[in-house]
C-alpha cells in the first residue's frame, strides 16, 4: 500500500470511530508526513526522518500544542497500519517528543482595577433594576473576595451560606466541597442581595443563591456578560472574565501573605503545584517594586 492509499484507509477508520474535528486534524497532520517522506514509503521512515519532519514543522512556526497533536496523529496512523503491515511499527516513535509549550502565567488584574471592578459604581446603570444590581454586586464580591470558580458560584445554594460564621460552602471539581470565608464586603453585598431576592422576580429555583432573569439558577454566560458590562462601566478596558478574578484573588492574597498553603486551601487546588504558578506572579511584583524603589536598581536604570 502506498502512502496515499494508507492515508485514505486511515481516514475511513477515523470516520468510523472518531469525531469529524479529530479526523480533520489527524488527516492534515498525516498529509504533512507524506510531504516530508517524499519518495520514501512509511515503512522506510526512520526515527531520524520523523524527528527531522517534526523539527521542520516547528521551524515553520507551528506551536508546541499543534506539534503534539501532529505527533499523536502520526503515532495513531502507524499503530493502525501496523495491524495489517508487519513492516510498519509505532515503536519507531520511541524517544520522539514534541517541544514543551511554555506555561502561561495567570492573567491577574492589578489591585487597583480589581477593587474598582467590584466597587459599586457611582454611575447608575440604567439598564439594570435594583434587583439585578444587588445580585451582580454580590456575585462580583464573592468571585474576587473568595476566589471561587464561576461554576462554583452558580452552584451555591441558600443552604450553603452560614452568614453568622461568615462562611460559604462551595463544590469544586469532582463535587469536592470546601468552605471559604466571606469577607465583610462580600457578606454585606450578599445580605443586600438576599433582601432584593425575595422582593423581585419570583424564584423558580428556590434553592439557588443567585437567580437569572426568569427566576432560574443563573448561568455562567449571564455572569460573564454582567462582569464585562461592569468593567466597561468602570472604565476598565482590558478583557475581564470570572476566572480572571480568581487569578487576581490568588495573586493579591499571595503577595500580601506569602502563605502558599493557605492560598492552595482557599483555591481548592488538589496539588500545591497548581498554586505555585502564582509565585511567579508574586516574583514579578517584587521585581517591579525592586526596580522602582531600590537605589542600586535606579542607578542601573539611569545608566541605561
Write out the catalytic residue numbers: 149, 173, 243, 246, 269, 278
Q: Which three three-digit cell numbers place residue 140? A: 462580583
Contact by Cβ (8 Å): 26, 15:
no
**CA-based R_g, the chain, Å:** 27
Q: Which three three-digit cell numbers place residue 152? A: 462554583
Residues 6+ apart with CB under 8 A from 84: none
Longest dimension (CA), the chain: 76
Residues 6+ apart with CB under 8 A from 70: 29, 32, 54, 57, 62, 98
d(CA 160, CA 286): 37
Q: How far is CA 73 from the centre of its chain?
A: 25
Amino acid at each position: 500500500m502506498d502512502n496515499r492509499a494508507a492515508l485514505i484507509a486511515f481516514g475511513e477508520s477515523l470516520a468510523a470511530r472518531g469525531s469529524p474535528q479529530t479526523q480533520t486534524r489527524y488527516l492534515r497532520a498525516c498529509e504533512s508526513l507524506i510531504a516530508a517522506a517524499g519518495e520514501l514509503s512509511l515503512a522506510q521512515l526512520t526515527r531520524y526522518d520523523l524527528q527531522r519532519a517534526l523539527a521542520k514543522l516547528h521551524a515553520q512556526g507551528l506551536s508546541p500544542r499543534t506539534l503534539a497533536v501532529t505527533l499523536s496523529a502520526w503515532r495513531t496512523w502507524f499503530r493502525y497500519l501496523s495491524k495489517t503491515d508487519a513492516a510498519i511499527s509505532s515503536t519507531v516513535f520511541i524517544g520522539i517528543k514534541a517541544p514543551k509549550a511554555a506555561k502561561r502565567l495567570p492573567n491577574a488584574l492589578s489591585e487597583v482595577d480589581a477593587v474598582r471592578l467590584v466597587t459599586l459604581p457611582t454611575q447608575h446603570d440604567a439598564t439594570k433594576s435594583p434587583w439585578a444590581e444587588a445580585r451582580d454586586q454580590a456575585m462580583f464580591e464573592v468571585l474576587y473576595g473568595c476566589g471561587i470558580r464561576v461554576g462554583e458560584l452558580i452552584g451555591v445554594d441558600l443552604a450553603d451560606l452560614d452568614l453568622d460564621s461568615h462562611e460559604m460552602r462551595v463544590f469544586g471539581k469532582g463535587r469536592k466541597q470546601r468552605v471559604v470565608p466571606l469577607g465583610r464586603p462580600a457578606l454585606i453585598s450578599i445580605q443586600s442581595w438576599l433582601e432584593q431576592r425575595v422582593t423581585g422576580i419570583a424564584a423558580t429555583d428556590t434553592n439557588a443563591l443567585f437567580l437569572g432573569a426568569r427566576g432560574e439558577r443563573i448561568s455562567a454566560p449571564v455572569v460573564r456578560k454582567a462582569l464585562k458590562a461592569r468593567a466597561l462601566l468602570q472604565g476598565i478596558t482590558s478583557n475581564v472574565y470570572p476566572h480572571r478574578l480568581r487569578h487576581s484573588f490568588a495573586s493579591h492574597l499571595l503577595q500580601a501573605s506569602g502563605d502558599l498553603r493557605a492560598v492552595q486551601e482557599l483555591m481548592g487546588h488538589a496539588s500545591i503545584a497548581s498554586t505555585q504558578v502564582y509565585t511567579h506572579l508574586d516574583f514579578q511584583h517584587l521585581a517591579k517594586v525592586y526596580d522602582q524603589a531600590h537605589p542600586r536598581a535606579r542607578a542601573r536604570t539611569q545608566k541605561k
